[in-house]
Chain A
Amino acid sequence: MGKWSEEKGTKDMTTATNGVNVDALLEAREVLKGAPEAAQFTWRASSKWQHGVHSEITIQNYFGLGQEQSHKEESVFQADHPEVFAATDNGITPIEYLLVGLASCLSAGVASVAQNRGIQLNSVESVVEGAHDIRGILGADSDVRNGFNDIKVTFTIDADASREDIEALVAQSQKRSAVFDALTNPTNVTVEVA
């Protein structure tokens, strides 16, 4: 009989060319099991208010593996609000950045899990929709929350695998997603004036 495993059984890893270095990730997992201090990362974004509700955010450095690290290049993001908010629309709204984070995190997860399971991906597309009642942020109704009421992600995946295997990829990617966790579970947030 086939072997039963809690996770989807691992197939031949060499057959998929999704471009994820799973060996390196699995090795890191083993190393960090015995070195929890090296696993402590701090991600950083720096924001500078521009004008109106427009801010510019830069990201380059972070801390991890026990020392300061740096991305290859600095990334610069514009965050603003659209014209229907009577704003200048120099960039996407802050809450849309959460959708950027969720979509990219889940896609990375799908690719990694597929690689680990030997599933060849041909295309992975997703649409992320966040339902938002803006009466909350406008203070129009105190019973309405500020944030999303509901987020829906729809994946369209072409892969050399059964529908059930593809659903398992998507389920496992949520299970190991930093952004999915950050959005679905409460997190302590401290905001101070320096």
Chain B
Amino acid sequence: MTPGTGERFTAVVIGAGHAGLAASYFLSQRSIDHVVLERGEIANSWRQERWESLRLLTPNWQSRLPGLRYEGPDPDGYMTMGEVTEFIERFAKICAAPVRAGLNVTSVRPAEDGYELTTSQGAISARAVVIASGACNAPAVPALADAVPAAVRQLTPFDYRDPAGLPDGGVLVVGASATGVQLAAELARSGRPVTLSVGEHTRLPRTYRGRDVLWWMDAAGVWDQRYDELEDLGRARRLPSPQLVGTPERTALDLNALGAVGVGLVGRLAAVRDGRALFSGGLRNVFSLADLKMNRLLGTFDDWAAQAGRDAEVDAPERFEPTRVPETTRLQLNLGGGEIQTIVWATGFRPDYRWLDVPVVDAKGQLRHEGGVVDSPGLYALGLPVLRRRKSTFIYGIEDDAREVVDHLARYLTAVRM
């Protein structure tokens, strides 16, 4: 189709997850005509790309979107994926988002007056585009996976549904952020011997002084810290997700808890050589770094509670046992000997911008943007780590970001018209 012959909107939002829908909510509030393009269904990643047992890390009371909050019976619980999907669908109905589902965007490129999109249902043009396609479109698997012997089955969190889908026998889980610790625990409970490869990680208790740790992040103002006031924004954006799980028992899922259920800990996977996995001997130091960082954060909470006069509302300050260092840790594992049947790569995710024909993606595959204002006029992003605040990637973190990004977009439209 020749440029300019397709449909035209003032703005196009790519992705109908919570971020894209929040953008739609504020665009509608400002009467900016727009469409939300979705490759699958509303909340598609939550439906298709998550394992069975996953629940949100944030408590229900914290799950809120513009004009919608949790009103169920269990404010301290954590939503299942089915509940998240329902919640986001309800939000789409409330804001009457103009969603076009089952439509794949294959190209976005600059045009004379904005952007030209090629989609599976024809051309669309718009003066402004909001990219809300998510930060976790594909699992990031390290190149050393290629050297793993063929007899070992390799899975990413996108392939994993439940332990029954794995062969019997030992599992090596690589990566100890939220995904890795959750899958390691679940696989250990299924009776499989589990080894967890641990690099730098973020340790957090589930509850602190009687409150959910994410209540503290919110109340003490940590989550509201803005992207432009952080000392090292790049680092904040790369921070591994915290070792947390949302369970009705509100239990901690740190490395001590994993050790207690029999998960063996090894250092960061450094190489696969001659069919053997070689692990870093620096495990003690990643434990120290994580313990120190957690204690500094808890100290920040204590300071805040004292200064804000909130000590009476919460329990007394507490400190947790340092991460227990195993007496001996294995530095290598023979992957060909049958001990390890499966490797699960819990090594993070990356966004996919192959469809974005605008030179705004850096050498590491990340979008170049300043608080969601992408380095190309009229192009915006939402739902990326620490986009404008520490809370940006959490469901309840989208409201402030979406409002401010849409404010900028509206000013841009007005300025260009003049």
Contacts and interface: CB of A to CB of B under 8 A. Distances in A.
Interface of A: 1-10, 164, 167-168, 170-172, 174-175, 180-181, 183-186
A186 B273 CA distance: 9
Contacts of B289: 171-172, 175
B29 interface: no
A8 B222 CA distance: 15
Contacts of A171: 285, 288-289, 292
A180 B297 contact: no
B239 A6 contact: yes
Interface stretch (B147-155, B274-282, B403-411): B274-282
A100 to B, nearest CB: 19
Nearest to A173: B285
Contact of A164 (B270, B278, B292): B292
Given A6-B236, A7-B231, A186-B273, A1 B267 contact: no
Contacts of A6: 232, 235-236, 239, 293
B300 A168 contact: no
Contacts of B303: 1-2
Given A6-B239, A184-B282, A1 B304 contact: yes
B271 A4 contact: no
Given A1-B303, A167-B288, A8 B280 contact: no
A185 B282 contact: yes
Range, interface on chain B:
20 to 34
B273 A164 contact: no
> Could you tell me the dominant secondary structure of chain B's interface residues?
mixed
A166 to B, nearest CB: 11
A174 B295 CA distance: 19
B390 to A, nearest CB: 9
B281 A184 contact: yes
Interface in B284-326: 285, 288-289, 292-293, 295-297, 300, 303-304, 307-308
For A4, A7, A181, A186, the residue with the greatest tally of chain B CB atoms inside 10 Å of its CB is A4
A5 B232 CA distance: 8
B222 A4 contact: yes
Given A175-B289, A186-B271, A7 B232 contact: yes
Interface in B214-229: 220-222, 225, 229
B235 A168 contact: no
A183 B229 CA distance: 37
23 contacts: A1-B304, A2-B300, A2-B303, A3-B229, A4-B297, A5-B232, A6-B232, A7-B232, A164-B296, A167-B288, A167-B292, A168-B292, A171-B285, A171-B289, A172-B289, A174-B282, A175-B200, A175-B289, A181-B282, A183-B281, A184-B267, A185-B271, A186-B270
Contacts of A7: 231-232, 235
Contacts of A168: 292
Nearest to A6: B235
Interface in B243-267: 267
B230 interface: yes
A170 to B, nearest CB: 8
Contact of B300 (A4, A180, A186): A4
For B235, B273, B289, B307, the residue with the greatest tally of chain A CB atoms inside 10 Å of its CB is B289
For A1, A3, A10, A168, the residue with the greatest tally of chain B CB atoms inside 10 Å of its CB is A1
- Rank and list the top 9 A-B pairs by shortest CB-CB distance, nearest first: A184-B281, A184-B282, A1-B304, A185-B270, A174-B285, A171-B288, A186-B278, A186-B271, A184-B280
A117 B270 CA distance: 30
Contacts of B232: 5-7
B311 to A, nearest CB: 14
Nearest to B305: A1
B273 A10 contact: no
